[in-house]
Amino acid sequence: MSSSLLAVVNEVRTNKGQPSVEALASSLRWREDLGFESLDLAELTVRIEEKFGVDVFADGIVTTVGEVVRKIEKAGRT
C-alpha cells in the first residue's frame, strides 16, 4: 500500500512541477513538508479515492501522511 500511496503523491507533485520524493514517513505533514496546497490536497483526495476507494478528507482535515495511511487501512483496502 505504501508504494501505491507514494506513486499517488508523486503524481500530484509531478503535476505541479515538483521533484518526486523517494519515501513517505508517517510524520510528514502534507502542507509544510510536502508542499501541498488546498487544491493539491483536493487532487490527492480524488487520486486516493480512485486507487483505494476511500475519501480520506470526508470526515475532517488530515495533517500528516500517517493519518491518511490509517484511514486507507481502516477502510480495508491495502
Partner 1 sequence: MAQKAQSEELSKDARQPMSKNILITGVSQGLGLAIARAVLAEGCTVSGVSRRLSGHYAALQEKHGSRARFHAFDLSRTDDIKTELFDKFLPLETPLHGLVNNAAVAYDDLVSNLDGARLRALFEVNVFAPMVITKQAIRSMLLHRVAGSLVHISSVSVHTGYKGLAMYASTKGALEAFSKNTAREWGERGIRSNCVVAGFMETAMSGTLTPAQKEKIYQRTALKRATAPGSVAAAVCYLLGEGAASVTGQNLVVDSGTI
Q: Which residues bind partner 1 (CB under 8 A)?
A: 15, 39, 42-43, 45-47, 49-50
State the alpha helices, DSSP H only, in 34-74: 38-52, 65-74
Burial (0-12, 13-18, 19+ Cβ within 10 Å), 65: buried
Least gap, CB of 15 to partner 1 (angstroms): 7
Q: Which is nearer to partner 1, 4 or 66 (CB)?
A: 4
Q: Which is nearer to partner 1, 57 or 66 (CB)?
A: 57
Least gap, CB of 43 to partner 1 (angstroms): 5
Least gap, CB of 47 to partner 1 (angstroms): 6
Torsion of CA 46, 52, 19, 62, to 10 degrees: 70
Q: Which is nearer to partner 1, 7 or 42 (CB)?
A: 42
Measure Cα distances from 5 to 23, 56, 75 in Å.
10, 12, 14
